[in-house]
Amino acid sequence: MPLIEVTNLRKSYGTKVAVDSISFSVDRAEVFGILGPNGAGKTTTMEMMEAMRTIDGGTVTIAGLDVARQPDRVRRIIGVQLQSAAFYEKVSLSESLRMFAAFYGRTVDPLKLLGDVGLAEQARLFPEKLSGGQKQRFSIATALVNRPQVLFLDEPTTGLDPQARHNMWKLIERIKAQEITIILTSHYMEEAQRLCDRLAIMDSGRIIALDSPSQMIADLIDRGFSKPALATLANLEDVYIDLTGKALRD
């Protein structure tokens, strides 16, 4: 039985339909990607699943809990990394993490958690002192304080430099290895292809494709698609990483 089931989910703002009756399911320990152009409804879909936004129609259940009916119980078993989140300035990372853990009635070892995302040395810093990549990793640390069953990541690598992006991918793979189900939105196809077990591609509030990345590629080739240029053995990103190295530049 799937861990997450989304059935005929709808959301509209006035006359504009943001999410148009979409359905999909996600299995436990799967990494599920939602792709699509800006305004396709990715974030709205995520936020309805996270109990951040009211659901106009349809249902979302996570581990058997109806998100619309039991939002508080759902919030306890999910972790959320938002696109537009901030943390209290002048409050150290450790202090912030303790507070977030307390919201779930838990106590955490902030150093352990920060170590997991590579921020042990920054434990006493304030969030306003962090680089973009560090901020995103801290944001993920706050989303892990309650040992969630499902982790929502909304564009976790947008705006990061290639080193920070590669570093974030490794972090996401480590989280996946802990059997945590991950829902991820992204604008980077390389990222989706590397991380996601299955993908939904959205456009204008609808899901227009839903499958594993490799199957999607195979289907495209079956439809007679071929790239005009021969695939090269390396791309520019490989050149860039080769020249600048993989070490993080926070």
Partner 1 sequence: MRALLLFAMVQLKHFLRDPIYLFFILVFPLVFLFIFGTIFGGSRDVNLTTALLNNSDTEFAQDFVERLKAQESQSLKILSDDLSFEDARLKMARGEIDSIIELPPGFGSVGQTAAQQGEESPAAVTQTTPPSVFLPTGQLRVYYDEGSPQAGQIVATIMTGILDQINGALMGTTPPLSVEQVSVGVNGLSQFDYIFSGLLSYVLMTMGIYALSQQLPAEKRSGSLRRIKATPFRAWQLLTGLALAYLLLTLLSAALMIGVSMVVFDFQMRGSWLVLAAFSIVSALAMIGIGALVAGVARNSNQATVASQSIAFPMMFLSGVFFPRYLMPDFLQNISSWIPLTPVGDGIRYITTEGVGLPDLLPQLFLISAWGIVAYVLAFRLFKWE
Q: Which residues bind partner 1 (CB under 8 A)?
A: 50-52, 72, 75-76, 80, 82, 84-91, 95-96, 98-100, 102-105, 139, 142
Nearer to partner 1, 99 or 120 (CB): 99
What separation, in Å, do the N-terminal and C-terminal C-alpha atoms of the chain show?
A: 42
Nearer to partner 1, 151 or 201 (CB): 151
Closest distance to partner 1 from the beta carbon of 61 (Å): 18
Closest distance to partner 1 from the beta carbon of 213 (Å): 28
Nearer to partner 1, 102 or 208 (CB): 102
243 DSSP assignment: H
Nearer to partner 1, 32 or 87 (CB): 87
Long-range pairs for 120-128: beta carbons < 8 A, 24 or more residues apart = 122/93, 123/92, 123/93, 123/94, 124/92, 124/93, 124/94, 125/92, 125/93, 126/89, 126/90, 126/91, 126/92, 126/93, 127/86, 127/87, 127/88, 127/89, 127/91, 127/93, 127/96, 128/89, 128/90
Closest distance to partner 1 from the beta carbon of 138 (Å): 11
Closest distance to partner 1 from the beta carbon of 59 (Å): 20
